[in-house]
């Protein structure tokens, strides 16, 4: 039985419902999405979500949502005078645009309590976090988060990192790249997306993205590349695979998050590396044929 601990921010999502002008509320967030899909793909896994929320009704609703989804809430930290972050989706000519309100988010101070993070990671087999997890931390939170990850690694935990580059969450692109590099250097498995990496790190192709993370010490790197070829390296072996073909894309939200869940559940379920990538690609294919971040698969 694998114990998987995902660390990050779960937000309130307000999504438009057709042309009615009404919105529906849901919960989503990159690391939460991956935990949600992992729980469905591997029911025998113990999946925990580590975050922080307030004491208000919407925070209670989010915790109930996690519990109902079979995701453990023992490491959901409660804090005073904070609540959940919120984002609103606007549709313009069929494209989704996002507006965010994060100033009140309890997850921004999650890592201020270093012992909380250490407790969350203590019994984990696999620890998963992202560049967004890092980006939203206030004050010394980023240092404390990476310190806890480093300690977990020394105790034999497997560290998985999705760089998930979001420059709007950082003071400067250079700051973002520096922190993402620090996080990747602590990780066994890195799951970047080439388009973002090329834009901010200047990688000329997916191979360059793969090789840069391998050079930082990752033993497994799988470079997501939209509909393009997926380049990987695992335990010194390099290769390339083709993603599943999708002709009827409805909504690409959570494509990468669901890919990560598909890959990790297959990979840590003893699948060969290319089998795990194909499984991940098939999960993402099904997800982008549905609407929203969390799609029944």
pTM of the predicted structure, to 2 decimals: 0.95
Q: Sorting pLDDT into bands at 50, 70 and 90, what band is 185? A: very high
**pLDDT of 23-51, one tens digit each?**
889 999 999 999 999 999 999 999 999 99
The residues carrying an active-site annotation are 257
The residue among 226 and 165 whose pLDDT is bigger is 165
pLDDT at 171 over 90: yes
Q: Which of 287, 296, 294 is nearest to 25 (CA)?
A: 294
Please compute Rg for the chain using Cα positions: 18
b/e map 104-124, b = 16+ CB within 10 Å: ebbbbbbbbebebbeebbeeb
Mean pLDDT to the nearest integer, 149-155: 98
Alpha carbon of 162 to those of 70, 86, 181, 290: distances in Å? Answer: 23, 22, 11, 23
First to last CA, the chain: 22
pLDDT of res. 255: 87
Q: Sorting pLDDT into bands at 50, 70 and 90, what band is 90? A: confident
């Amino acid at each position: 039985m694998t114990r998987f601990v995902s660390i990050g921010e779960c937000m309130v999502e307000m999504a438009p419902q057709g042309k009615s002008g009404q919105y529906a509320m849901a919960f989503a967030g990159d690391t939460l999405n991956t935990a949600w899909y992992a729980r469905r793909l591997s029911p025998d896994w113990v999946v925990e979500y580590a975050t922080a929320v307030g004491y208000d009704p919407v925070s209670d609703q989010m915790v109930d949502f996690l519990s109902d989804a079979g995701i453990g809430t023992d490491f959901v930290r409660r804090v005073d005078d904070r609540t959940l972050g919120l984002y609103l989706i606007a549709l313009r000519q069929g494209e989704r645009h996002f507006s965010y309100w994060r100033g009140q988010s309890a997850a921004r101070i999650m890592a201020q309590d270093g012992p909380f993070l250490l407790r969350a990671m203590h019994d984990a087999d696999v620890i998963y976090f992202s560049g967004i997890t890092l980006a939203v931390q206030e004050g010394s939170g980023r240092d404390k988060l990476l310190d806890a990850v480093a300690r977990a690694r020394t105790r034999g935990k497997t560290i998985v990192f999705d760089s998930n580059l979001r420059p709007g969450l950082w003071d400067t692109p250079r700051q973002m790249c520096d922190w993402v590099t620090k996080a990747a250097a602590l990780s066994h498995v890195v799951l970047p997306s080439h388009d973002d990496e090329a834009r901010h790190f200047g990688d000329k192709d997916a191979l360059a993205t793969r090789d840069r993370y391998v050079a930082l010490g990752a033993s497994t790197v799988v470079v997501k590349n939209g509909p393009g070829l997926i380049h990987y390296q695992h335990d010194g072996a390099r290769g390339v695979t083709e993603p599943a073909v999708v002709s009827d894309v409805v909504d690409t939200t959570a494509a990468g998050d669901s890919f990560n869940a598909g890959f990790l559940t297959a990979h840590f379920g003893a699948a060969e590396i290319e089998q795990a990538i194909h499984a991940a690609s098939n999960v993402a294919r099904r997800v982008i044929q549905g609407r929203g971040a969390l799609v029944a698969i």
